[in-house]
Amino acid sequence: MNLRPVPRSSVSDHVFGQLRDAIVSGTYAPGDPLPSERELGAVLTVNRHAVREALRRLQQLGLVRVSQGGATRVLDWRVHAGLDLAMSLTQVDEVLPIDTLVRDVLEMRACIGTDAARLCALRADPATRAAVTGAVTGYVGAAPDLDRMDQANIALWRQIVQGSGNTAYLLAFNSLVGGALAVGRVPPQRRTAELLDTAGHRRLAALIADGDGDGAAGQAHTLLTAPVTAATERTRT
Amino acid sequence: MNLRPVPRSSVSDHVFGQLRDAIVSGTYAPGDPLPSERELGAVLTVNRHAVREALRRLQQLGLVRVSQGGATRVLDWRVHAGLDLAMSLTQVDEVLPIDTLVRDVLEMRACIGTDAARLCALRADPATRAAVTGAVTGYVGAAPDLDRMDQANIALWRQIVQGSGNTAYLLAFNSLVGGALAVGRVPPQRRTAELLDTAGHRRLAALIADGDGDGAAGQAHTLLTAPVTAATERTRT
DNA sequence: TCAGACAGACTGGTCCAACCAGTTGACGGG
DNA sequence: CCCGTCAACTGGTTGGACCAGTCTGTCTGA
C-alpha cells in the first residue's frame, strides 16, 4: 500500500469541522444564533481564540454571518455558500447523499470541460496547444496504472482549462478537483471506463491543436458525459 | 441616490485584504514565505491574533499553506484557489483586467445556466416548475426598473439552478452572484439588452414547464450568450 | 575532510486575562 | 402607552506567556 502523510489537525481545525458539519447537516438552522464564542470555548474546552479562528473560516465559506455586539448567526448555505464548500462536503451523507454529490460534480465537470475544450481550441496560443498534446501523451503513457492515469488526467484537463483563458473555469476546476472528485470517494473500478478511452483523448488533443472549437466540444462532451450517466445510474440504486 | 449600509471592516479584515491583494497581484510569488505572524503584526501595528485570523481566511481561500514550525508559504492561486476567490477579485486590475473577469464570469454563467435549465426541465418537480414561472412573472413585472429587474433576474435563475437538483451548480451560482457580477462593476446600460428580453424569458419558463430539456437549454443559451459576446467585444477595446 | 549529532533561534499553536465597542432587551419614568 | 436609560450581553482587540514543531549553523567525532 502507498503511505500518505499523516493529517495533523489543530484544535481550531476540530472546532471548524464540528461547526461546519453541524451547520450543513441542519443542526443549526439558517437564522439561528450560534452559541457565543465564550460558551463554545467552554463547551469544547478550548480557548476563545481557537473558536474565533474557526468562525473566521466559516465566515469565509459563507456559512455564518458575524456581527459585533450581536450574535453570530447561521446563514443558509444553499444561498450564501460558494463552490468551495463542495471541498468540505464529504461527511454529511444524510443531508446530501455522497453518490448524488459525485454525480453533481461530474455533471459540472462535464459542463465546464466541454466549453473549456471549445474555448481552448479557439483561443489558446501554440505553446498551450502543444502542452495539451503533451499532456495527452503523458496520460496515455501512464496506462494501465489507474492512479497515475487519474493524476495525468487531472493534469490534462488543467491544461485545457488553462488554455481556455477563462479564470472562472480555472478556479471552478480547482474547487472540483479539490472536492469530492479527488477525495478518493470514487473507487477505481468506477472510473475505469472513463480513464481508458485513450483514443478519444488523442482525438480531443488533435481537434484542439487544429483549432476546431465545435469538434473539440463534441469530443470533450463524449468523454465527460459517460461517467455522468454511470454516476446517475448509481444514484438510483 | 439610494443609501447603502456602512461597510464596517475590522482590523483583521484589513490585514486579510492587504495580504490577499499582495498575493494575487504577485507581490509574493508562489512558494515565497510570508513574513512571520509576529513580524506582520509589528509592521501593520496590529496584534498577532488579528494576523492569525486573517491568515486563516487566506488558508481557507487556498492562498497560503501554513505549517507549524515552518514559515507560512504562498500557494499558486491558479492551482489551489477555488471559485470563491472570484468573489474577492475586484481590486487587482493589473494582473486580471476587470473586463476580462466579467467576460469569464458571464461565460461561466452561460455555460452553467444552459445546462441547469436543461436539467430543471427534466428533473424539477411541479412545485419548482410553478416557482420558475412565477419568478419570470415577477421579473417581467419589474420592468422597466433595471435594478429591480436585475434582482428578479437573479432570483429567477436561482430558481432554475435549484430546480436542476445539482448542488454543485447551486454553489457555483452563489459564487458567481456574490462575485464580480453583483459588485455593481457592470454599469446598467451594459446589461440592458440582456435584461429586456422578457419574451425570451417567458418562452424559457414555458419550455421548462413542458419538460422540454433541449428546448429549454437552447433558449437559455440564447438568453445567456448575448451578454457574453457583448462582454467579449468590450475586452478587445 | 566530511557526515552527522546537537543546540539554539526561529516558526506557528494555544492559552489566560483584561479591556474596548457595539447590540439587545428589560426596566422605569414620562 | 411610549420612549429613554442602563445593565448585561455579544463580538473585537490587545498583551503576554508558554508549548511544539522546524530549520540552520556549529561543533564533534570518525
List the domains of chain B with CATH numbers.
11-81 (1.10.10.10), 98-236 (1.20.120.530)
Q: How far is the CA of B219 from the C1' of D2 (A)?
A: 57
Other C-beta atoms closer than 10 Å to the C-beta of B64 total 23
Nucleotides of C under 7 A from a protein CB: 10-18, 21-24
- Closest by Cβ to A56, choosing from B56, B105, B111: B56
pLDDT tens track of chain B, all 237 residues?
Answer: 566 777 788 999 999 999 999 999 999 999 999 999 999 999 999 999 999 999 999 999 999 999 999 999 999 999 999 999 987 776 666 777 878 888 899 999 999 999 999 999 999 999 999 999 999 999 988 877 777 888 899 999 999 999 999 999 999 999 998 765 555 555 555 556 566 788 899 999 999 999 888 999 999 999 998 777 776 766 666
Kindly tell me if the per-residue pLDDT of A193 is higher than 70. no
Residues A24-78 have pLDDT tens digits of: 999 999 999 999 999 999 999 999 999 999 999 999 999 999 999 999 999 999 9
**Contact residues on chain B for A61, CB-CB shorter than 8 A:** 60, 84
- Closest by Cβ to A81, choosing from B60, B115, B171: B171
Output the CA torsion sign for A160, B25, B98, B148: positive
Q: How far is B65 from chain A (nearest CA, A)?
A: 13
A178 and B79 within 8 Å at the Cβ level: the answer is no
What does pLDDT average to over chain A? Answer: 87
B178 and A79 within 8 Å at the Cβ level: the answer is no
Nearest of A147, A111, A135, A101 to residue A204 by alpha carbon? A135
**Contact residues on chain B for A78, CB-CB shorter than 8 A:** 162, 170
Contact A128/A163 with Cβ under 8 angstroms? yes
